[in-house]
Amino acid sequence: MDEICFNDLIFSAEMLSARRNDGTEIRFTRKERALLKEFVAKSNTVLTRHKLLEALHRDDQGDISERNIDFLVNRLRTKLGDKARDPRFIASQYGEGYIWIAEPTDETRTNAFLQVGPVYGLTETDNGERAILDLLTTALNSVTDKKTAIVCTRALQPHAHQAPLADYGLEASFYKGNTRLHAAFVLRHGLGRQAIASFRTAFANGDDNNVVRDLAINVQRALWAHMAMPASPVVITPSDIPLEIRIHDAARTLAPSSNSWRESEARIEAARVAAPDEPAFGIMRGLALYARLLFDAREGKEPGSSEWREIEKEIEALALASLPNIQDNPLLVLGAAKLLLFVDRGHFDLAERLAENTFASSGAFAAAFSTLAQLRMYRGRTQEALTFYDKAIELSKYGSEFHIYLLSLKCRALLAANNRVDLEKTAKELYAAKPFTRVQVGLFLAPPDSGTLAADLEILLFKLTRWQARRLACYLYYVSARHFQVREHRENTMRGLLAHLQRRFGDYILPGEIAEALPELVR
């Protein structure tokens, strides 16, 4: 084994160093390494000062006396971020010595989404009661995306000194009544384990599965609200992602179906009906409708149809009506700017002012960079747009939906500017981060003069029916090309796709309205 993980630290095999989840590295001295090796080799065993001194002597460090052991242990604790009164690594056995109490953990579990545990009020012999935790873990897996990692630690207090293994934790407390097992659960978030929701329930013989199922659904609802909704009171950090990506992430994670966006829209509408005076739900409703248009278009419904335009009118009305009441929340303001930009109904200047003012007055850097980049891109100020995209990418997590979104938009800017060299490089980055995006956008990014495409894209092209090809061209126009204010950029956005669709199907692939807007591309 090259590495071993204890709590939130990953140690090298020879104990030369350890690193935290954020990448911070801790270096150990020779004496500290000798102590660590002895502790780990004899974990959960009391090691006297004399035994630890022997370990140092075996490592040819004879200049140490027993009275130096306490100093070395305290220094090691400081490096590990440990506390004598609340130890996670090294506990004191007063009058005897020290004990290594940390249990090795699987490093991959530190990337889990939800941790069930630790557990209070049960003992090691309460196997039947503890089985409820396994039922709960199974139920939570059934109401979340199958790729979402949920771990059940079953760690019992007071021995649960582990650092959090997941983004969210579901802490459980039990007590036994005469006929029922009572339970309280606290849903917590982040390394600081901030409490975001609590649940009370009880178990009796025969109904455990139903109780657990209801509990899992309530936990899912609380997770969705925390993931999708902007914080209240407003606490914004530079790496906060745009609201539309938050909603998308929540839907994808907590609705294990191909129609997760529909479930997300239903949740938002239910919340809006329950609290009609809450301005956040107006913007969230608008973003849900925006997602509906995108997904409907992908599923074959015609972009630009009368139904599409009616939904755009509703999006416009929601954004404008919400504006006076959302000025204290940068993510909501940027969400409004995104909606006003998308509907293309004469609000470009307003959207730009909203984004610029938000960037100037808040710390919402990543979300503001993303919105400003799109505005600059559609204005034709490509270099400024690329600079903003790169700044936002620096603040995004590799492989996250936000990272993929930014790379896709950067490709859009390079495509419009006809910068084929940088477009190819960025497209490779995009496909490496998420290979399936090649299927989604590969035909859009295709060079118009390549004759035939790469084999996988050529297969995609020839699988299209004429009707599907027409819808694909409409999608690219209404979602992207129509927003560009420079005619050349609109044409560059459409040129590659149209060249290959016309090669496949001949002339007249575009509906009349789009053909009139792009006369240079219509044969």
Instruction: Give tens-digit pLDDT for 344-403.
Output: 999 999 999 999 999 999 989 999 999 999 999 999 999 999 999 999 999 988 888 999
Q: Could you tell me if 88 and 26 lie in one domain?
A: yes
Residues in the chain, pLDDT under 70: 1-2, 21-24, 59-65, 105-111, 124-128, 146-149, 153-165, 191-192, 205-206, 231-234, 255-259, 299-300, 522-523
Paired strand residues for 99: 91
Half-sphere exposure of 428 (CA within 13 A, CB side): 5
Paired strand residues for 198: 186
- Backbone dihedral region for residue 70 (phi beyond 0: left; psi -120 to 50: alpha; all else: beta): alpha
Residue 159 forms part of a structural domain: yes
Separation CA 15–CA 35 (nearest Å): 10
**pLDDT at residue 71, rounded to an integer:** 86
Separation CA 5–CA 8 (nearest Å): 7
Residue 164 forms part of a structural domain: yes
Domain closes at, from 178, 199, 220: 220
Q: Which amino acid is at 116?
A: V
Q: Could you tell me if 23 and 48 lie in one domain?
A: yes
Residue 64 forms part of a structural domain: yes
Count of Cβ atoms closer than 10 Å to residue 435 Cβ? 9
Q: Could you report the per-residue pLDDT of 167-189, keeping only the tens digit for each?
A: 898 999 988 888 888 999 999 98
Q: Could you tell me if 236 and 358 lie in one domain?
A: yes
Separation CA 384–CA 375 (nearest Å): 10
Residue 126 forms part of a structural domain: yes
Q: Could you tell me if 55 and 145 lie in one domain?
A: no
Spell out the alpha helix ranges (H) of 143-207: none
Query: Domain holding 35: CATH number?
Result: 1.10.10.10
**pLDDT at residue 161, rounded to an integer:** 45
What distances in angstroms separate CA 274 from CA 90, 277, 292, one per listed residue?
A: 50, 9, 22
Residue 242 forms part of a structural domain: yes
Q: Which amino acid is at 6?
A: F
SS3 state of residue 453: coil
Residue 394 forms part of a structural domain: no
Paired strand residues for 11: 4, 18
Structural domain of 97: 3-105
Q: Could you tell me if 13 and 65 lie in one domain?
A: yes
Q: Could you tell me if 61 and 161 lie in one domain?
A: no
User: What kind and span of H or E run contains 391?
Assistant: helix 382-394
What strands, in cross-sheet order, belong to the sheet with 47-48?
A: 47-48, 97-100, 90-93
User: Which residues are CB-contacts of 18 (< 8 A; sequence separation ≥ 6)?
Assistant: 9, 10, 11, 12, 25, 26, 28, 80
Q: Could you tell me if 169 and 286 lie in one domain?
A: no
Residue 95 forms part of a structural domain: yes
What distances in angstroms separate CA 490 from CA 132, 311, 410, 411, 521, one per listed residue?
A: 58, 24, 15, 14, 10
Separation CA 451–CA 469 (nearest Å): 18
Is residue 339 within 8 Å of 283, Cβ to Cβ?
yes
Count of Cβ atoms closer than 10 Å to residue 407 Cβ? 23
Domain closes at, from 58, 76, 105: 105
Number of domains the chain is built from: 3
Q: Report CA 249 to chain centroid distance, whole Å.
A: 6
Q: Could you tell me if 354 and 238 lie in one domain?
A: yes
**pLDDT at residue 443, rounded to an integer:** 95
SS3 state of residue 10: strand
Domain closes at, from 316, 336, 363: 363
Residue 508 forms part of a structural domain: no
**pLDDT at residue 145, rounded to an integer:** 73
Q: Could you tell me if 210 and 84 lie in one domain?
A: no
Separation CA 353–CA 351 (nearest Å): 6
**pLDDT at residue 340, rounded to an integer:** 97
Residue positions counted in the chain: 523
SS3 state of residue 153: coil
Phi and psi at residue 44, to the nearest 5°: 60, 25
Q: Report CA 11 to chain centroid distance, whole Å.
A: 27
Q: Could you tell me if 60 and 131 lie in one domain?
A: no
Q: Could you tell me if 247 and 355 lie in one domain?
A: yes
Half-sphere exposure of 277 (CA within 13 A, CB side): 0
Half-sphere exposure of 342 (CA within 13 A, CB side): 30
Q: Could you tell me if 340 and 355 lie in one domain?
A: yes
